[in-house]
Structure 1
Amino acid sequence: MRRWIWLGLRLSIGSGRAGVLRTALMSSGAALGVLVVLGSLATFSAAGAQHERAEARSPVREEQPSTPSTLRIYDIEDALGGRVLRRTAVIGATATSPRPPGVAVLPAPGEVVVSPALRDLLGTDPRAAARFPQRVIGTVGPAGLLAPDELLAYVGAPPAPVSAEERMLDEHWAVTGFGYPLGYALGEGAAPDVFTPARILAGAFGLFVLVPFGVFLATCARLSASTRDRRIAALRLLGVSARQATLVNAVETGVVTLGGALLGLAGFALLAPLSEGWRIGRLQWYAADLAVPVPVVVGMVALTVAYAVTIGVLATRPARVDPLAVRRDAPHRRPGVWRLFPLLAGLAGAVLAGWSGRHEPSQGDALLFAASMLLTGLALPLALPTLGYAVAALLARLPRTPVWLELATARLRHAPGVAPRLVAAFTVMIYVAGMGSLGVGLIADDRNLSPIDDPGGRRMYQVLGPGPLPADELRQVPGVQVVDLASVPATVSGEQGYLIVGDCADLTGMFTLDAGESCVDGQTYRLVHQFSSGAALPEPGAEVVAQDGTRIPAPEPILHTRTRFAVGMSGQILVTRQAPVAAALDVPPSSSVDLVATDPDAADRAAQVLAARVPTRYLGGDLGTRRGFDAELLVTVLVTGLVLSFVLGIGAFAAAAIDRTMERRRDNATLAVVGTSPRTITAGEVGFGTLPLVIGLGLASGATVAIAAVLAGLLDLDRDRVFDRVAPTLWLAGGALVVGLVLIAVPAWSTQRITAEQLRRP
């Protein structure tokens, strides 16, 4: 046993310059793959660490705490220059109050504790300084922050009166501690801004990293396949048993892969501490968050080596079973037509799902489509040998075929499984990129699903939160209109309804009137809304009784209103505040008003006034920021995954192309000796790699278009719009073809020098 292990070790570092090159390619491939996988696993660790810190600072609230607590916490999502600003208002803090992680002392009114990133902005950004005129008394430590660039402030605020109805909301309950479990959802309602849920993130990288890494590692494990098969066959012909030959091959593959895996591990250990401050999209992290547990690292390295050894052992079975045929370089068996069946089954399943769900897709249709899409991707490499053999046989029958093309087709028919193995990674990469770009395109449309704004560019917000309302100061802000429309319950023509109380400017700020209509303060009007779904319009003079008993006759004038924003309004009668009857009405005070801003800058100025004057108040609405696991973050994850897939695909193809060129030098040397020109030899090598490359890229592009067409029908989408989303994949396939030609042609041309060693060595 020991001698065969030693022979495997000797073969892993010997066998001349070609063996050294093969070892370098295998180990560098394993190193790159392990580095990428470790980086992907580190994102899972970072997500978990951020999730734990987010929970640690989440307040624990009790309506009736066992021990008296005067502490109240209000978490507010603000925005500063397009970035999320987390502003936490603190009320009633004492020396014994619980504190969130990273905060040494809670602020009193007129004080603020800020994160390091916000502290830097206070001195350079006037918008930040206008929000926080309070005195900075401390800095939030890393234990209380999700990432180094997070903008976070704990602002001291005076007690805010809360109505009896609002007091039922848990946000007004006493805070007894920190560390409340968080629940996240896919959408902008998820807060705080942490790339969660981590399982979805890990699943995305599993699709875009682990699958291409599996193809990449399988390609590296079969480098110099013909040479290694002949070596195994020679050992068998010398009397070595199949088991002993398997051990030699396993040791050789395992040692090289382990060396590369350790090199990748060392690269990750070097880069991880330097990554603090790097950014992917809007994501940043602390370097300490990238710590992957040691058992996970050991398990990943062990699985990497085991997978490569398994691929190598299974692939050398023909050399162990029929060594004589391998030594004589006998033609390989013609690939069976059965290899096409999985691909056809995958496409047929997708078409069936699209046809079945053309009217109303069900969960079964969605599952069938997903399974068919996965099967199609896995079946693409399986179909390449059969199609490559068929195309080579067809080209060989053409009249006046050039010598280089005859040479390429003859080699492809002699070993139909070699060239497809060369392009399998590229084929899978193009298909994954196509499906990913389709998903990115469809999900990215969610960015336009923001609240409906006025066509003139105006935006509507609500002023929310407890505390006094600085309405007069907000009215002084340029580009801002404060809209205060109150709804009063009333009986209209004997049925329950509502009165709307407000100025004409309030009404026309929120709604538009039909052409020729106008509102005059001091009058009352009957209202006809664009989407009326309530009581019928009262007749003029009909009795209208408010909840306080005030009687108002239904007026003669009518106003027809249409919505400017994504809001509705219920009320059959408008009573302007200047109307005589308005003085007798009991209008309940409103804890919030609406605000209309002409542009985002005007909304930002209003937010500055609220933050500076009443820290517990804030603007509710679209502030132009992204937070939580929303469409933008999902696009970031998908694009990053596609980039990693592309890197692994390029790496696999480059390693296989260079190795294939070095392996063919012996046969090319024989051709050169008999007088074949270097140009013809190079063209033959390029043709041998280009034929399956064109087939693979064309097959992947066609499968992507077919799946996209089915998806368009399944989701009832415009086919042209869907095809626009996958069009970049076709350009990517064209670029991959150019890159593949270069990676094949350059090594083939640069290795034309013939030596006697190449004629002697197997």
Structure 2
Amino acid sequence: MRRWIWLGLRLSIGSGRGGLLRTALMSSGAAIGVLLVLASFATVSVAGAQQERALARTPVWDESGASPASLRVSDIEDAIGGRVLRRTVVSGVTATSPHPPGIAALPRPGEIVVSPALRDLLATDSRAAGRFPQRVVGTIGPAGLLAPDELMAYVGAEFVPPTPETAQARENQPVTSFGGPLRYALGAQTFGPDVFTPARLLAVAFGLFVLVPFGAFLVTCARLSASTRDRRIAALRLLGVSGRQATLVNAVETGVVTAGGALLGLSAYALLGPLSEGWRIGRLYWYAADVSVPAAVIGGVLALTVAYAVAVGVSATWAARTNPLAVRRDAPGSRPGLWRLGPLLAGLGGAALAAVLGRDDPGRTEAFLFAGSLLLTGLALPLALPILGYGAAGLLARLPRTPVWLELAAARLRHAPGVAPRLVAALTVMIYVVGLGSLGVGLVANDRELLPTGDQSGAQMYQILGAETMPTDDLRQIPGTQLVDLRNLEATVAGQPDNVLLGTCADLTGMFRLGAGESCVDGRNYRLEFEPANWGRRPLDPGTEVVLEGGIQTPAPEQVLHLDMRFSLGQSGTMLVTRQAPGAETLYGAASSRPLLVTSDRSTADRAAQLIAARYPAGYLSGDLGGQRGFDGNLLVTLLVAGLTVSFVLGIGAFAAAAVDRTMERRRDNATLAVVGTSPRTITAGEVGFGALPLVIGLVLASLATVTLAGVLAVLSDLAVRQVLDRIAPTLGLAAGALAAGLVLIAVPAWLTQRITAEQLRRP
């Protein structure tokens, strides 16, 4: 066995210039693929590392309140110019108080400890400096931050004893240590402080953009110089080598080249990993140590890459091992079976069935059926190319007055129906993945559920929380702000418990739009009806008895106001009692109030947030300050585009490698044609036609499959088919560009390799 292993090693590195070119192409393909796959798995490592650091800095609150610890901690999420700012307010700090990782000691009142990114921002951005008039006494280390660019500050504050009503609030409970479970930050709109736990799921989706094209890429690389290698295996069999021994030689040859490329990709990853700190994908940053992939995962990637390439190489040489004489004499390949169309039809049929079953009320079954059909269709596209190319070549051969170069291309395609599809398989899969991926990007980017809701005029609504008193007079002085004090008051309406709203007309119009032609006058009471359809509540009839707090009785007035919400706040009541109405002044002590701030835009809200944070470190505005948190639409689009870019690179790379290798392998046959007088132009055109025919078929097939599945998705998602098809329209342009690039990659090498040598005229 040793001699056959040695022969495989010899063939992998000593097969002339053509063999060296094939070795270089195959090893570089494996290197690129391994690098990208490890980079994809690194997203899981980054997610895990950030999760651990987020847990380590999370306070552990004593919910019983029995702990003698004096430390109080509240995490507040703010935002500056679209970037999340995390303020951790600490009070009751003593020399024995615990502190989170990354800082030596917690700050005292009038002091702050900041992250490096926030320290730099304080020196350059007045919006940040306006929030922190305190003295900077320290810097948070990497152990206490999620990423190098995180804006975070520990702010010292005076301890304020809680009232009995607020004693159970989390921020008023003693903190005994750090390292607790993740919780909402005060003012946060998403889980945790940008913790990327969902990245574990997203990494799988991103991996599909890498692993599926990489599989096609590796298949292409494993079958480079396929005809030459098949003839070599056939020659060994005719010399008396057994089929098992020939298989061993081929497996060693393929495995050595792939393993060398895989180790090269691993070396590139090990080199780039420490240099990656400061790089980013969209708004995602990471520490260099976070991208370390476990050794078991690295070993698995390397082993599976080599095993996959060896399996492809060995299975593809079955004909050379079982019928070596036919391969050696370059006999025509067998006609592809119609069974190759089965998986593709099954995939498209499954998608159509999902559309039929889920037309009215799609459920989990239809979703799984569609997802399975999506994957099956992508895997089946390369499988269907040989039979379609064979049939198209037969039709061309029957056409009258077919040009010589086209007849030559059709004859070659029918002679070896499995060669050309290998050339274009990766590019076909790439168009399919990019088409559906671009549809996902379009739908996510326009998903209104992921976009902040607010008044169409640009106004924003915030709740003022976190402190007993607020600088209300100063907030009113900020241009573009309105302080709303619209209170809920319990009442009895027609003998049933209900509630009414208490406030001024300005408060009401700050939160709601009035119906056309309607107006509100202070000093009067109004019946209220809300759109749409009064939220399912029965309208209040005029004269209905309404009993307010303190036994104040008032009939429901004749005047009615029809209200439409300006903001997504479910505040309502059957009646409005204005402040100037008789008896209203006695009701304000009994009514519940939530101070609300309405601003004309986010920049105005930012000025209000600066004012509150500077004077009351534990106070904050609860609402949308424009910070991009968690996996919102922008981040999803960024990651999807990154995955699509990887798919595009792999597809073009696989096609380029196959095209160059095909040109080098065809030089002997082309030299024979040149000797008998065929012009270089005809030879080049024949090569272009040989590659262009399956390339056109593959791109058209991928485009049609994408359109079909996009239509099914439109039905299942209850979207307009035209709207969905508009999202994938750029894919057709990309397919045309891929066709043009493919023709160039075939034509240029074929034209430049017309020189005839004696070596090319010898049968290898």
TM-score tier by shorter-chain length is over 0.9
Are 2:526 and 1:537 aligned?
A: no
Query: Structure 1 counterpart of 2:110, which letter?
Result: G
Q: How far apart are residue 102 of structure 1 and its match?
A: 0.6
Residue aligning to 1:335 = 336
Q: CA deviation at 1:524?
A: 3.3
**1:478-534 residue CA offsets vs partner (Å, 9 max, x unmatched):** 111110111111223333222322122111211222344333333333333335344
Alignment partner, residue 10 of structure 2: 10
Per-residue deviation at 1:183? 7.5
The superposition leaves residues 395-424 of structure 1 with CA deviations (integer Å, 9 ceiling, x where unpaired) of 011011111101100000000000001111
* Residue matched to 2:112: 112
Task: Give the equivalent residue in structure 1 for 2:239.
Answer: 238
Equivalent residue for 2:695? 693
Residue 21 of structure 1 corresponds to: 21
Q: Per-residue deviation at 1:456?
A: 2.1
Partner of residue 142, structure 2: 142
Superimposed CA distance per residue, residues 608-641 of structure 1 (whole angstroms, 9 cap, x where no aligned partner)? 1111111222222222222112332222222111
Letter aligned with residue 388 of structure 1: G
Equivalent in 553, 563, 566 of residue 565 of structure 2: 563
- Measured against aligned partners, the alpha-carbon deviations of 1:313-355 in whole angstroms (never above 9, x if no partner) come to 1111111111100100000000011111111111111111101
Instruction: Give the counterpart of 2:611 among 601, 609, 612.
Output: 609
**Equivalent residues of 1:483, 1:593 under 8 A apart:** yes
Q: What count of residue pairs does the alignment treat as equivalent? A: 760
1:211-239 per-position Cα deviation (integer Å, ceiling 9, x unaligned) = 21111111111100000000011111111
- Cα drift, residue 673 of structure 1: 0.5
The alpha-carbon distance between structure 1 residues 720 and 161, as it changes in their structure 2 partners (threshold 3 A), is farther
CA contact (8 A) 1:451 1:565 kept: no
Distance in 2, matches of 1:437 and 1:134, equals: 48
- Distance in 2 (CA, whole Å) between partners of 1:450 and 1:667 is 60
> 2:352 corresponds to which residue?
351
Aligned to 1:504: 505
Give, in whole Å, the separation in 2 of the partners of 1:69 and 1:583.
43
1:624 aligned onto 2:626: yes
Asked whether 1:406 is paired with 2:397, we answer no
3-state secondary structure, aligned to 1:726 = helix
Correspondence 1:367-378 to 2 at 5 A:
367-378=368-379
Deviation of the 1:28 alpha carbon: 0.9
1:365-408: CA deviation from partner (whole Å, max 9, x where unpaired)? 12111111111111111100000000000001101111110110
Question: Corresponding residue for 2:30?
Answer: 30
Q: Which amino acid aligns with 2:37?
A: V
Cα–Cα, structure 1 residues 138 and 486, in superposed 2: closer, same or farther, change >3 Å? same
Q: Secondary structure at the match of 2:550?
A: coil
- Counterpart position of 2:440: 439
Contact 1:550 1:584 in 2 (8 A): no
Q: Compute the displacement of 1:569 (Å).
A: 3.2
Matches within 5 A, 1:708-723: 708-723=710-725
Per-residue deviation, 1:38: 1.4
Residue number in structure 1 paired with 2:473: 472
Distance in 1 separating the partners of 2:173 and 2:541:
44
State the AA in 2 paired with 1:561: L
Secondary structure class of the residue paired with 2:488:
strand
Post-superposition CA distance 1:422-475 (Å, at most 9, x none): 111011111111111112222222256545422322121211224322222211
Q: Contact 1:600–1:623 at 8 Å: present in 2 too?
A: yes
Q: 1:395 to 1:275 in 2, by over 3 A?
A: same
Q: Which residue of 1 aligns with 2:589?
A: 587
Q: Which residue of 2 aligns with 1:269?
A: 270
Q: Once the 2 structures are TM-superposed, how far is the Cα of residue 738 of structure 1 from its aligned partner? A: 1.2
> How far did 1:563 drift?
2.1
Task: Determine whether 1:131 maps to 2:131.
Answer: yes
User: Which amino acid counterpart does residue 679 of structure 1 have in structure 2?
Assistant: R
Q: Is the 8 A contact 1:353 1:369 kept in 2?
A: yes
Q: Cα distance, 1:279 vs. partner?
A: 1.1
Tell me what 1:68 maps to: 68
**For the structure 1 residues 644 and 625, does the alpha-carbon distance in structure 2 shift closer, same or farther, using more than 3 Å as the test?**
same
Name the SS for the 2:551 alignment partner: coil
Which whole-Å CA distance do the structure 1 matches of 2:539 and 2:438 have between them? Answer: 51
| AA in 1 matched with 2:377 | T
Cα 1:602/1:677, change in 2 over 3 Å: same
Quick one: distance in 1 between partners of 2:517 and 2:731?
53
Aligned 1:633-712 pairs, distance under 5 A: 633-712=635-714
* 2:292 is equivalent to residue 288 of structure 1: no
Query: Helix, strand or coil for the counterpart of 1:548?
Result: helix
Quote the offset at 1:80 in angstroms.
0.4
Q: Is the 8 A contact 2:489 2:592 kept in 1?
A: no
Matched-pair contact (CA < 8 Å) for 2:90–2:157: yes
Q: CA 1:490 to 1:161, structure 2 compared with 1: closer, same or farther past 3 Å?
A: farther
**Rounded Cα–Cα distance in structure 2 between residues aligned with 1:74 and 1:461:** 19
Q: After TM superposition, list the pairs within 5 Å mapping 1:740-751 onto structure 2.
A: 740-751=742-753
Structure 2, unaligned runs of 5 or more: none
Distance 1:107-1:549 versus aligned 2 partners, 3 A rule: farther
Q: Please state whether the residue corresponding to 1:273 is helix, strand or coil.
A: helix
- The secondary structure found in structure 2 opposite 1:369 is helix
Cα shift at 1:142: 0.3
Single out whichever of 265-274 and 120-129 deviates more from structure 2: 265-274
Deviates more, 1:57-66 or 1:377-386: 57-66
**Structure 1 CA distance for aligned equivalents of residues 751 and 568 of structure 2:** 66
Question: 1:116, CA displacement in angstroms?
Answer: 0.4
CA distance, structure 2, for counterparts of residue 181 and residue 459 of structure 1: 32
What SS is found at the alignment partner of 2:76? strand
Residue identity over aligned pairs, in percent, reads 70
When the two structures are superposed, what TM-score results if normalisation uses the length of structure 2? 0.96
Gaps of 5+ in 1: none
2:600 alignment partner in structure 1: 598
Match of 2:418 in 1: 417
Tell me if structure 1 keeps the 8 A contact 2:710–2:724: yes
CA distance in 2, matches of 1:631, 1:272: 28
> Does the aligned pair in 1 maintain the 2:109–2:155 contact within 8 Å?
yes
CA distance in 2: counterparts of 1:330 and 1:75, whole angstroms: 75
